[in-house]
Structure 1
Amino acid sequence: MNADTTGPHVVVAGGGITGLAAAHRLALAGHRVTLLEADARPGGKLLAGEIAGAPVDLGAESLLARRPEAIALARAVGLGDRLQAPATTTASVWSRGSLVPMPKGHVMGVPGDARAVGGLLSEEGVRRIAADLDLPPTEIGDDIAIGAYVAARMGHEVVDRHVEPPLGGVYAGDAHRISMKAAVPALFAAAREHATLTAAVRAVQRAGAAVPADAAGAATGLGGSVFAGVRGGVGTLPGAVADAVRAAGGEILLGAPVTALRRTGATGWQVVSGDRVLTADAVVLATPAGPAAALLAEHAPAAARELGAIEYASMALVTLAFRRPEMPDLTGSGFLVPPVDGHTIKASTFSSHKWRWVADAAPDLFVLRTSVGRHGEEEQIHRDDADLVDASLKDLAAATGLGARPVATTVTRWPGGLPQYPIGHLARVARIREAVADLPGLRIAGAAYDGVGVPACVASAHRAADEIIATSETAAPGAGHSS
């Protein structure tokens, strides 16, 4: 560790993008930082790799660019010149055996105009959406499942074929369980202010349109694109952040799971990792909910109980490389799949179309990937690699006419990869934070709390780090060390 760093010692448990972002923030503020990661590499669900010599993302592949946190972090660690907008964002929905262009003008699949989804839904489904304008207001209360609310206002068909696909892509969950307040907060707030869901969607759309695209994306230099990638993969971001942490004097220890926390005095902590014990002035728990619950069981049992109740979905990504001349005429960035149709895959991304850096690095190949697994489908990720590849190829053939065999395949599993946000999730998070607030010098951060995307995780990390920084400014540094 850099001997010039003389501030309070903070131990960060967990080296996913959340833990790395917290460590980076703390190190730049002059704190002595030790990050402990159980895996042999940092980055969590951000993973860069290759297939048939082509660079690819084997985990998260894009950043929400209209939130500033992830883009700003990428720039801060030297990746600014590698940020790219997608080459295309035109997607389809594979519904009832056909690829249908994804309708425009919706908020997480909830349409603001029934006519916009005419190509995807039946005539009866379109009429049912329009009927929302004639229904009396629906009492929402403190929270409601987005699927249940939309179905009551606009019918089940639009939920099954237009809301479930994007929600499944983000949360790998069930729209009838996912909290509208947590997953689509702008729509939840608007729905409480307007008599109809249609009016609420249009209000959210107007609010978005009121912010010029250039203003929304000014800090990104991406022309207001909603999403951004990184040349070489979003999976290169963790390594860049880790390098920046080390350059700022921080220490990153891999293969070092945190197995216990102990209080020392009024405010200090001992962090146990195998036979290593670190004494810290403060701790950031940036682990998934289960490990955080185990570590907090003795110190904040109420928080531990709430954390233990957070469920996760598992998923797998199947990455496939084909000889480009053998491919059918695919268009757009890929397609989403409504679960109601019973297919194995829930989405496919045409990586060589979506990201210029993939196409440029492997012009003779066409790289695409499928995703498999939703909440409650744990058995899917336990299928062997060949089975998942065959199932993906079967669905791809049915959806696109693809008959070629891949020249290379890679299956990446993410067990317990996505926390679920059911009704009451934000209230649960508030209770967890209230219980943890009684522990001096300890903060929590990660995808389990305020959002599963990279920007939300970075924001969560910065919130935890900033609270520790603010506290340490009024307290004398301790004598943190490792032994």
Structure 2
Amino acid sequence: MVDYVRKRVAVIGGGIAGLAAAVRLRDLTPATTDIIVYEQSGVLGGKLRTGELGGLPVERGAESFLTSAPDGGESAAVALARHLGLDLVHPARVPAALAVGGHLAPIPAGTLMGVPADPGAVAGIARATAHDADEGRPLLAEGADVAVGDLVRARYGDQIVDRLVDPLLGGVYAGRADRLSLEVTAPQLARAARVEHTLGAAVRAVQRAKAPTGRPVFSAVRGGMSRLVSAAATASGARISLGLPVRDIARTAHGWRLLLGAAASAPSAGPAARSGTAPMPQTDDVDAVIIAVPARPASRLLAGISAAAAEAVGVLDYASVALVGLALPPGTPLPALSGFLVPPSEGTLVKAATFFTQKWPHLTPRRPGFSTPGAGSNRTPESGPVIVRASLGRAGEQERLQFDDEVLLERARRELGELLGDELPPPAAAWVQRWGGGLPQYAPGHRDRVASARAALPPGLALAGAAFDGVGIPACIASGEKAAEDVSKSLEEA
């Protein structure tokens, strides 16, 4: 425990990584510790945001998280939810599909992020055109990293990447396999590739190492992800500062000084600036800082502390996406699926769709005596809306999203109908949620760049979040908790 009374810690960024850091700090430090969360927007939670559509709670960001951690234990998200006293729900056991060549095909079982152990098992969707030969050495040298697409194309050919790996990776990262790091997006496969001589053997090694847990694969918070956000903010006991950006951080003799407020105005910006009466910037002195913001603002904050760290962090690129929510009339028929993914080769703006009220049956109001449709049925409950959520846009496609909401809504409805083979009716209600620059694109070598950035930072300053340790709610939470542990240790040693 920290011995000094009234220590102060600033967490810059109020997304789930920053809030998880604040909760962990509260658990590790004395009750007298001041924790301040600075979020420059007007709302906490980052890309966790529960909206309303057709009278139902529908996520405007991440809708679920992995239940298990890579080691077989429960994930950091499940652990935090339980710590906060939140109930979890799980999706229905309904399959998902791929939209390939104008029809929906079930996503093949037994792949690892779309990479099969035996390409012959997925021949109905994609055929291998390369030979996965044993060349007498591991696929990947120790410490090396490659793009997922480079490895799989060399071993299985183009179709496996274009029709399987790209849509599955795209569903998580909105990126392309040829540009995404194997080490970050498939770390277990990367480790196996440093031992095994063929890709098939590497996939089988990962699959053998996965002990069955008996848990559902995915979980969500009952009532919506915004409940996780508000519960974490409350449990942290932190002072929440909204709408006040942190412009700069600098070392002091005893800690850190934060410069707060909007960027300085130019001399000609207005009468107050010209008369010399512009508001003075605010400052806050703290003993430690956790930076939990995207890469570019993090790089700006680090520039005055370590140019090397700022440069390593600042190279990360991002993809922009938009989510479209449609509340379709009750009884609208849909395939008996949880949704589908669309390979980039199909040329659509829609890259994925979720049949929300089929995937999350706890949301669907049901008449007495109405039972959940069976696996072969396309019946939907008639007592409530049918909610479909579509994800639009991939890395490098920002210009395809530059239309007003009405155009995107109609484009999404039209493409969904074409992919399903039947026009969807006009929605009773709808919304568009845009996440500009929302998803990190981890190029090969990302993990080493982040490690070098962290090594260049002095004690009492830590980095957390998707910019550094991976997308996904469990990864962000674990990253925030680790940053809190590092900062707490630095305060004890100060």
C-alpha contact (below 8 Å) 1:269/1:281 kept by paired residues: yes
Q: Secondary structure at the match of 1:259?
A: strand
Tell me the CA shift for residue 193 of structure 1: 1.2
1:455 aligns to what?
474
In structure 2, the CA distance between the partners of 1:390 and 1:182, relative to structure 1 (3 Å rule), is same
Retained in 2: the 8 A contact 1:372–1:380? no
Between 381-390 and 293-302, the greater mean CA deviation after superposition? 381-390
Partner deviation per Cα, 1:374-412 (whole Å, 9 max, x = no partner): 111111332211111111111111111243111111000
Asked whether the 8 Å contact 1:60–1:235 carries over to 2, the reply is no
Report the 3-state secondary structure (helix = DSSP H, G, I; strand = E; otherwise coil) of the residue aligned with 1:104.
Answer: coil
**RMSD over aligned Cα, in angstroms?**
1.7
CA offset at residue 134 of structure 1?
6.5
Runs of 4+ displaced beyond 4 Å: 133-139
1:244 aligns with 2:249: no
Q: 1:22 — aligned with what?
A: 21
- Is residue 98 of structure 2 the alignment partner of residue 107 of structure 1? no
Are 2:99 and 2:343, in contact at CA under 8 Å, matched by a contact in 1? yes
List alignment gaps of at least 5 residues for structure 2.
70-74, 262-280, 367-380
CA contact (8 A) 2:259 2:282 kept: yes
Provide TM-score, normalisation by structure 2: 0.87
Pick aligned residue for 1:78 from 77, 81, 85: 85
**Contact 1:59–1:235 (Cα < 8 Å) also in 2:** no
One of 266, 271, 277 as aligned partner of 2:258: 271
Q: Are positions 1:302 and 2:291 aligned together?
A: no
> After the TM superposition, which of the residue ranges 458-467 and 360-369 deviates more from structure 2?
360-369
Shift in Å at residue 138 of structure 1? 6.9
Decide whether the 8 Å contact of 2:175 with 2:395 is kept in 1.
yes
Q: Output the CA distance in 2 between the equivalents of 1:291 and 1:136.
A: 45
Q: Structure 1 CA distance, aligned partners of 2:42 and 2:183?
A: 36
**Deviation sequence 1:437-464 (CA, Å, 0-9, x none):** xx23111111011111110011111111
In structure 2, what is the equivalent of residue 478 of structure 1?
none
Shift of 1:57: 0.6
Pairs aligned (count): 446
Equivalent residue, structure 1, for 2:267: none
More helix by share: 1
- The residue number in structure 1 matching 2:432 is 411
1:86 aligned counterpart, secondary structure:
coil
The code of the aligned residue for 2:199 comes to: L
1:262 and 1:133 mapped to 2: Cα distance?
A: 54
Residue 487 (structure 2) pairs with residue 468 (structure 1): yes
Once residues 288 and 159 of structure 2 are traced to their aligned partners in structure 1, the CA distance between those partners, rounded to angstroms, is: 50
Equivalence for 1:281: 287
Mapped partners of 2:426, 2:89: distance in 1:
30
Separation in 1 of the partners of 2:63 and 2:282?
35
Worse-superposed segment, 227-236 or 251-260: 227-236
Partner of 1:371: helix, strand, or coil? strand
1:236, distance to aligned residue in structure 2 (A): 2.4
For residues 6 and 358 of structure 2, what CA distance do their matches in structure 1 show?
48
Query: Are the aligned partners of 1:47 and 1:236 in contact in 2 as well (CA < 8 Å)?
Result: no
Deviation of the 1:235 alpha carbon: 3.0
Structure 1 segment 12-411 matched on structure 2, within 5 A? 12-29=11-28, 30=30, 31-67=33-69, 68-79=75-86, 81=87, 83-121=88-126, 125-126=127-128, 128=129, 131-133=131-133, 139-141=139-141, 142-208=144-210, 211-214=211-214, 224-246=215-237, 250-265=238-253, 267-274=254-261, 275-325=281-331, 327-360=332-365, 363-400=383-420, 401-411=422-432
Query: TM-score scaled to structure 1, two decimals?
Result: 0.89
Is the Cα contact below 8 Å between 2:119 and 2:156 reproduced in 1?
Answer: no
Residue 221 of structure 1: aligned partner: none
| Residue number in structure 1 paired with 2:274 | none
The amino acid across from 2:15 in the alignment is G
Return the offset for 1:84: 0.9
- The offset of 1:226, in angstroms, is 1.2
Show the counterpart of 1:220.
none
The alignment-based identity, stated in percent, is 45
Secondary structure of the residue that 2:132 maps to in structure 1? Answer: helix
Q: 1:242 to 1:37 in 2, by over 3 A?
A: same
CA distance in 1, matches of 2:444, 2:167: 19
Return 5+ residue gaps in structure 1 as ranges.
215-223, 476-483
Q: Is the 8 A contact 2:50 2:226 kept in 1?
A: yes
1:468 CA displacement: 1.0
1:420-459 matches, cutoff 5 A: 420-436=441-457, 439-459=458-478
- Find the residue that maps to 1:236 and give its secondary structure: helix
Mapped partners of 2:244, 2:322: distance in 1: 25
